[in-house]
Chains A and B, each alone.
Chain A
């Protein structure tokens, strides 16, 4: 099965959007029947590469060779005709339709030329489900399925049309740890059936557990390809980043530090979804003045809910939240900010910024009165611009004038705008989520320095991140979230990757 038969070969693939090069030069050989991981940081060009393979983008240069023939892939239909199937990170299922209808969407079997042949559709769907042992009900509506089940429908959809080469784009990002395990089993099963799988991820752990070979992409170029068994996680990480990681970090490891009184105190905070499942399950924690408390965990284990509950953006159904000695359980977001909360949300485009508004207005959004922008109750344009210009300088926001729409900036500079706004008040508590997601190394280091500087000034910092490297580099204590629960809070000294990783997967006892 894992012979040297090359199913797919990419030669010098490049892609530019306008004058921005998303891919500079990618060379890749994929062998028939292997699980091949494409690994790289956010923004390295992985998704662009896959979109080229499924015909969403056309390459600006280079050649795609499939089964020994150079091919052109103009659209997703052509890709599927060539036997390339893709499972997107964002599901492409229609919720109100059944599993069978979704499997055959766009290519339903017909009866009399015009009607859908529903019976045929359902029986073929059931056969597929049986063949791959996916345990789905062909007549269930997708809206009623769990995330893991939906993903299996996605995979089946790709397989239904005889995909020889299956591309999975960050498939674990949306899954809970047990669902991840099931997915890895599914992938094993597919490999056993001779399918070839391209698995895209930036999570090193998965690379090791699932793949035969791994190719690292950095800044739009393929850097290296190895047999997974021959390399360590650290080797892969070095290739991804381009140098040894963890350049900044908490000096002294937190051992010699003394911290102040708790600034944030959560007492058995719980949040439920409409079906009664606990999104936050009795979470209690303290963040003290001067410390960085890092919250690790796989995405989707309650970190988002935790941050939004603290920020006053989602209601909790039980428990209490105290901020700087005040009970803010029922307080509005504005009241919490007045009590000393600074909040950097995980997705800057979603909650962090209004991209059509100017840099100045985005930085000033919470600060009009505090920053002295108002004169006689009206906004003074001169003061607003001066204030923004000062922040742009201080936070090194590149390519920005005060009046530039934020949407014109790069991801890193957008993030600097968010951080500039939230730190301007010098908040007693800074809640910062996924602070370097999609940022390059330079911007990331800048963000790290700001976080540490805030802690050094005696501010409390709650850092929520799914990047273990930054949790370890910045935190004084490390908490791990799993399935809505805060598993344990470890001192930095007693936290090692193995223990944290164990807790992230739901293990409880070993670390005790």
Chain B
């Protein structure tokens, strides 16, 4: 137990410096804008808990973030720098929507699992492509996942605008999926999706899979030293591709659960860069699944809190975008003094 606490502490140590610097700079900015920076910061962080409604929105925000972060963790543990979370998320969301909209006549017992499964598969395919290219031909995965993001976004834009568009609605928005397959709300927190429970369970499952199964050990072996993995007989190619299927699948699931549990339809702009923020959460948690749950919650707190802050003070909510940029910029830097190669 002691050892677990210690490793958790080590895992949090370095990113905490980046968070602290970012929050401090943010506080200075806020102080220059409003007379009551303390109130603004309180709202930014804690207004999420002022009402059950706020709390529900907070959990809804945390759900896709957690799932994407978990996906990123599987990829990173296998040594793949997956920046394709956004594309995989959109693929999952659009796939679930297309199934929900076009097969609306199916009974819900069939349609719900089908929609979720299609979302997962769509995300997984987007994880599979860069993985195979990387393993077979050593094509740089950062480039492929980055390019695939835009390709998917353009493709979903086409579908949302031209194929499944809700003509009565404003903007690139699909028709609503049947109410029968909407996810039930979380028990005790109306307005919050039960998808959050799925995310929490999967965070634990992800930890077990990565650190308590031979498959996980093989993935990590491939990710930390590929030539070592081959030498000890790990089918490293298969493990890397497998990890990327899981990674894409988790991001795809995030998209499907968003549509079924929160948005109930596909909206072209539903993601405030969840892909990148999820990646941020994963890195801040030092690619540890349980840690990622914590950082995703923290980030959801900030993203929603910014809106409350804007209402109560006149600090623009885009402060949080600025701070996110700063945090991402700083988080992999070695800011602790004294150590230089």
Chain A interfacial positions (CB closer than 8 Å to B): 311, 313, 332-334, 336-337, 343, 345, 350-357, 361, 364-366, 368-369, 374, 377-379, 381, 403, 421
CB of B227 within 8 A of CB of A365, answer no
Give A298 Cβ to nearest chain B Cβ, in Å.
24
Residues of chain B lying within 8 A (CB to CB) of residue A365: 217, 221, 228, 232, 234
Output the least CB separation between A321 and chain B (Å): 16
Contact A379 B214 (CB under 8 A): yes
7 A–B contact pairs at CB < 8 A? A313-B231, A334-B234, A336-B233, A365-B217, A365-B221, A365-B232, A369-B214
Min CB distance, B104 to chain A, in Å?
Answer: 40
Measured between alpha carbons, how far is A355 from B225 in the docked complex, in Å?
8
Check B208 for interface membership: any CB of A closer than 8 A.
Answer: yes
B265 at the interface (CB under 8 A from A): no
Partner of A354, one of B212, B216, B228, B233: B228
In the complex, residue of chain B having the shortest beta-carbon distance to the beta carbon of A341: B233
B235 sits at the interface (CB 8 A): yes
Cross-chain contact of A351 among B208, B217, B220, B231 (Cβ < 8 A): B231
Known A-B contacts A378-B213, A379-B212; A357 and B221 likewise in contact (beta carbons under 8 Å): yes
Q: Are B235 and A332 in contact (CB under 8 A)?
A: yes
Contact A354:B213 (CB < 8 A) given known A333-B230, A365-B232, A366-B233 = no
Chain B residues within 8 Å of A403, by CB? 3
B167 lies within 8 A of chain A by Cβ: no
Given the known interface contacts A368-B217, A378-B208, A379-B213, the answer about A334 and B225 at a Cβ–Cβ threshold of 8 Å is no
Q: Of B208, B214, B228, B229, which is in contact with the most chain A CB atoms at under 10 Å from its CB?
A: B228
B214 close to A368 (CB less than 8 A): yes
Complex formed: what's the CA distance from A356 to B221 in Å?
Answer: 9
Residues of chain B at the chain A interface (Cβ within 8 Å): 3, 208, 211-214, 216-217, 220-221, 224-225, 227-235
Instruction: Report the Cα distance A350→B230, complex, angstroms.
Output: 11
Q: Cβ of A333 and Cβ of B231 under 8 Å apart?
A: yes
Q: Could you tell me if A351 and B228 are in contact, using CB atoms closer than 8 angstroms?
A: yes
Q: Which of A337, A352, A377, A378 contacts B228 (CB 8 A)?
A: A352
CB of B136 to closest CB in A, whole Å: 15
Distance in angstroms from A204 CB to nearest chain B CB is 31
Distance between A71 CB and nearest chain B CB, rounded to angstroms: 25
Taking a contact as CB atoms under 8 Å apart, the answer to whether A353 and B225 are in contact is yes
Q: Which A residues are CB-close (under 8 A) to B214?
A: 368-369, 374, 379
A351 to B230, CA, bound (A): 8
CA distance A297 to B229 in the complex (A): 28
Alpha-carbon distance A337/B234, docked complex (angstroms): 11
- Give Cα A440 to B184, complex, Å: 66
- What is the CB-to-nearest-CB distance from A361 to chain B, in angstroms, rounded to a whole number? 6
Could you tell me the distance between the alpha carbons of A353 and B227 in the complex, rounded to whole angstroms? 9
Contact indicator A377/B213 (Cβ below 8 Å): yes
Q: A332-B233, A403-B3 are in contact. Are A381 and B221 (CB under 8 A)?
A: no
Q: Return the 10 tightest CB-CB contacts between A and B, nearest first.
A: A334-B233, A354-B225, A351-B231, A354-B224, A365-B232, A368-B214, A333-B233, A379-B212, A366-B232, A337-B233
Question: Which residue from B212, B227, B231, B233 sits with its C-beta under 8 Å from A381?
Answer: B212
* Other-chain residue from B217, B230, B231, B233 in contact with A361 (beta carbon distance below 8 A): B217
Contact of B227 among A350, A366, A378 (CB under 8 A): A350
Closest to A337 in B: B233
Nearest Cβ in chain B — how far from A446, in angstroms? 22
- When distances are taken between beta carbons in the complex, the residues of chain B under 8 Å from A357 are 220-221, 224
Q: Which of B227, B232, B234 has its CB near the most chain A CB atoms (within 10 A)?
A: B232
Whole-angstrom distance from the CB of B340 to the nearest CB of chain A? 15
Which residues of A sit under 8 angstroms from B213, Cβ to Cβ? 377-379
